[in-house]
Structure 1
Amino acid sequence: MIATDTLDTPAAVGSSAPAATPALPRGLAGTPDDKEMLRSAVELTRDIATARPEVYWPDMLLSAGLGYAALAGAILIGNPVLAALSGVVSALALYRALLFIHELTHIHKNALPGFRFGWNLLVGIPMLTPSLMYEGVHTLHHARTRYGTAEDPEYLPLALMKPWSLPLFALVALLLPIGLLIRSAVLVPLGAVIPPLRRLVWERASALSINPEFRRRPPEGEFARMVFWQELGASAWALFVMWWSATHSWRPLLIGIAVISLTALLNQIRTLVAHLWENEGEAMTVTGQYLDSVNVPPPALLAPLWAPVGLRYHALHHLLPSMPYHSLAEAHRRIVRHLGVDSTYQKGNYSGLLPLVGRLARSTMLPR
C-alpha cells in the first residue's frame, strides 16, 4: 500500500513562518494524481472509445444461448457427472451474459439501439436481475467524491475487516437466487398494494450493492417508467416459474437455482479481487482509485473466465469508465507501451486471482 502521510510541525508562537500544509489522508487516499497517466489514458484511446454493436450483440447472444442450452442439459441429462459438467458450463456462460449489465451502466443510451431492451428480455428478466438493479447505482461507485466512502454502494474496506469476513462475503452469494426469487415473486407484488413495503424494497433490495448502509433514492422520470416495466416483467416471470414448478416439477427450478448460485459465487469471488479494499472512508484522487483497483492482464490465462467482459482490466476501467469492454485490451497495451514498466500505471497490474486473494487474506490478519 502506498503511504504518503505527512507530519506537520506547528509554527512557533509569534513566528512569521507560514502555516504548515495539512497532512494528506493516510494510505491510497493520500496519493496525488499522476496527471501524465490520466492524460495519456485519454489521449491514447480516443479512436477506440466507440461501442461496436457487431461485437456486443453476438457476444451477448452466444453467451446467453450457450448458458440456456447448457442449463437445459443439466436438467435433462441423466448421467450425474455430465449433468454437473453441463451445469458448470451454464454457470460460466450465463455469468458472462449477466455481466453485460455492467456495460449497460456506462455506454450512452443511444450507443447500441435496442441492446438494453434485448439484454433485459433475454437475460436480465429471466435471471431476475433487470438492468434497473445496476443502472443509477454503479455510476455512484465511480463518482469522484463517493468512491471508497460510506456513500459508495459498491465498497467495503474488506482488507481492514476480520479474517472471517472474507469467506462469509463470498458464501452469502450462494443465497442470491433465492433472494431474487422472493423479491420478484413476493415482495414486489405485495409492494404494489403496500406503499411502505414498496419504499423499503426499493431502498434496500433493488440494487446490486455490497454496502449495507446504502439507501437508494426513488426513481424519477424516464428511469421510473423503465423500472415499472422491468419490475412487471421480472415479477410476472418469477410468478410463472413458481406456478409451473408447483404444478409440474420443482426439479428444474432447483437445478436452475444451483447453477445461478454458482454464477453468483463466481461474481462474488471476482468482486473480492476487483479492488484492494484498503480505503478507510476518505475521498480519493482518481490515481488513488486506480491504485486501489486491479488489472489482471495477460499472460493470466483464466482471467477471461472469472473476470469476463473486460473486467480483468478493472483498474483501467476506473480511469476510462466509458471505454467499451472490447477496447480495454488495446487501451492497456497502448498505455503500457507509452508509459513504460516503471510507471504508476504498472502498479495496478497483478498476476492472477490466487495471489490477490492471498494478499487480501493477509491484510485482514494484520493488527489494527
Structure 2
Amino acid sequence: MAGWTRNPVDEDGNFDFGDSGARPGQFLGTRALYMDKAGAAVWLRDEIPFSSYRVEAEAAIPESVGFVGIAFAAKDEDNYELIYLAPVEIQYDPVMNGSMTWQIYNGPRYQKPLPDTTGSWTKLIVDVHPEVALVYLGDDPSPQLIVSNLQHKGEGRQGAIGLWNFLPAYVGRISVTEIEPTAIKARGTNLRELVKEGFVTEWLVSEPYPENTAPEQASGWRTVAVEENGTLNLNRQYTARPGLAVTAEAVVNVAEEGEFPIDFGFSDHLKLWINGEPVYEGSWRWQPPASDGRITADLVTLPIRWHAGENRIRAELTCAETFGWGLCAAIRTNRSRPAEAQALR
C-alpha cells in the first residue's frame, strides 16, 4: 500500500513548525525533533490522502515528566484528535476549543497503564479510521488501546496529522501507510443506558460569565446532552478560560419521597443547589499529588432528601485551568429518572 517515511528535522518543508518552538535535536545518538512547549503541535503541511492509515513514530520522553503523541483528524488548530504517550500510560485526549480533555476522558476506555517509558525510544503506532483508532507500542501485534468512539468524527479533515508534545519530548522517524478499513464497529453514546444507571443526561447550560457574578443573571441558555461516560463536557461548548463560570440546570423526577444519595464529580470548582438549597461547594483540579482533576461520578456522595415528582438541580461550574471543565451526576435509586432539562427561572 501507499505511504512514506521521513524525519521531521529533514529540511524538506513538509512540516509547519509555526510557533511551536520545535527544533532539531539529538537523543541517545538519534537525530530528532525536540519539542519542549506545553501543548504545542507541529502539523504536516499536506493532508494524508487516505481514509484509513497507520502513523508510526519514534518517540522519546527524556525526563520524568513529559508527553508526546500524534494528532490527527484536525478540524483546526484548536480541535483535533490526540493520542499520546505519557511516562506510565497511553492517553486518548481529544482537544476541544484549545483544551486538553483528559480529565473528562479518563478510565479504561481512554487510558492504558504502562511500565515507565521515560529515558528511551518507543515506537508509537496509531491506526486511524474515520470513527475508530487503535494504538500499538513497539513490535507488539496486539493493540494497547482501542478508541471506538472518536469524539471529532466527521468534523475534521481525516488526513490532517501532526506531532504533539507537552513539556520536553523528541520525535524521530515518522512513517504513514495506507491500511485496510477496520472491522471494529464504532460505539456511540447510549443515553438510555446512562439513564438506567441514574445519570442526569441532559442539562440546560448558560453562556460563560465572569466568576463571582450573580448566576441569576446568566443568559444564552442551550440544552446539552452528556458524553458517553455521563459527563457534561463544557470544553465541547466553550473555550475554557480561568475565571469564567457557567450555570447548568436539570430536573429529576422521583416517584416517591425519600432520602437517597447523589454521586457526582466535577472540575474545577463547583457550587451545587438542590431544590433551591445549597448542598455543596468545593474544588477539584490538577494539583498533584493531592488531586488530578479527573471527573468521575464517585468523587463525592451526598445523602439528599428528595421530593416526590420534580426536583431541581442547579450547578455553577467555574474554570480554574485550561484542561477538562465539566460535571457528571447520578442519583442512585431506580425510582428516579432524568427529565428534559429546563430553565429554573
Q: Bin the TM-score by the shorter chain.
A: under 0.3
Q: Give the structure-2-normalised TM-score.
A: 0.25
Q: Give the structure-1-normalised TM-score.
A: 0.24
Bigger share in strand? 2
Bigger share in helix? 1
Q: Select the structure with the greater relative contact order (CA < 8 A; seq sep ≥ 6).
A: 1
